[in-house]
Amino acid sequence: GENVEQHPSTLSVQEGDSAVIKCTYSDSASNYFPWYKQELGKRPQLIIDIRSNVGEKKDQRIAVTLNKTAKHFSLHITETQPEDSAVYFCAARMDTGRRALTFGSGTRLQVQP
Amino acid sequence: DGGITQSPKYLFRKEGQNVTLSCEQNLNHDAMYWYRQDPGQGLRLIYYSQIVNDFQKGDIAEGYSVSREKKESFPLTVTSAQKNPTAFYLCASSLQMNYGYTFGSGTRLTVV
């Protein structure tokens, strides 16, 4: 089955700096890669996603890049703000077989004011 | 709240007891999922259902059971066979399997 590894497990940045979280996946059949943000005590919320026919997607301060050859994808947050502090999860899904999401272990992002 | 409701929010179980966690959605989604969240381990898939009256085991199905008798409901039973049930349980749904998830607010289960 699919395996997703996520790094780093914790990340601390100064307000205004950029943050990058990286994930690798094992199954080349995976073709959908969402990112979720989970604030303390709340449910995960989808913040951005990318499909395998696209190399990059951007939504305001958030962008995701995908390298299918290397089987990794990354979340980029620019001009970080204290409200970006949360746990971020990457995930991957295949289009055939078991099509449920496989999640990474999460990254706790702390933005220091 | 958000179209998918989990109850209860907190649940305490004595060892040897079975407990059932509720998950109801009014989003008309076909697919539903149960994940377990432990610190530092992300979300691990317990069971999922693509359609009514059908469900599949995930990565950590041992000690759990589910049913999908109605499109709106996907209850999870944590049986006494689950040796380490203390965790945060998240239910999710999606329009179909290849769409993004909407999560419930979760149930925190503690064995006392």
What does the pLDDT look like over A51-107, one tens digit per residue?
Answer: 988 899 999 999 999 999 999 999 999 999 999 999 999 999 987 777 899 999 999
Supply the pLDDT for residue B83. Answer: 87
- The pair of three-digit structure tokens given for residue A71, joined into one six-digit string: 């089987």
Supply the pLDDT for residue A94. Answer: 85
Task: Name the residue among A14, A16, A21 with its Cα closest to residue A87.
Answer: A21
Mutate to test the interface with B, among A5, A6, A43 (most CBs of B within 10 A): A43
Cα A24 to its chain centre, rounded Å, is: 10
Search chain A and give the residue with CA nearest B6.
Answer: A43
What is the C-alpha separation between B42 and B37, in angstroms, rounded?
A: 6
What is the C-alpha separation between B110 and A75, in angstroms, rounded?
A: 33
Cα A12 to its chain centre, rounded Å, is: 16
Angle ∠(B2,A88,B93) on CA atoms, nearest 5 = 35
Q: From the CA of A44, how many Å to the nearest CA of chain B?
A: 6
Amino acid found at B42: G
Query: Residue B103 and residue A102: Cβ atoms within 8 Å?
Result: no
Q: What is the mean pLDDT of residues B84-107?
A: 92
Supply the pLDDT for residue A96. Answer: 76
Q: How confident is the model at residue B2 (pLDDT cuts 50, 70, 90)?
A: low
DSSP B31-56: EEEEEEE-TTS-EEEEEEEEETTEEE
pLDDT over threshold 70, residue B1: no
pLDDT over threshold 60, residue A3: yes
In chain B, positions 72-111, which contact chain A (CB-CB < 8 Å)? Answer: 90, 97-98, 100-101, 103-106
Contacts for A7 with CB less than 8 Å, ≥ 6 apart: A21, A22, A23, A107
Higher pLDDT among residues B83 and A85, named by residue: A85
Task: Name the residue among A21, A29, A42, A33 with its Cα closest to residue A88.
Answer: A21
Instruction: Report chain A residues whose CB lies below 8 A from the CB of B33.
Output: 100-101
Q: What is the mean pLDDT of residues A12-39?
A: 95
Query: Residue A6 and residue B42: Cβ atoms within 8 Å?
Result: yes
Query: Residue B43 and residue A44: Cβ atoms within 8 Å?
Result: yes
Q: How confident is the model at residue A1 (pLDDT cuts 50, 70, 90)?
A: confident
Q: What is the mean pLDDT of residues B10-35?
A: 94
Supply the pLDDT for residue B5. Answer: 95
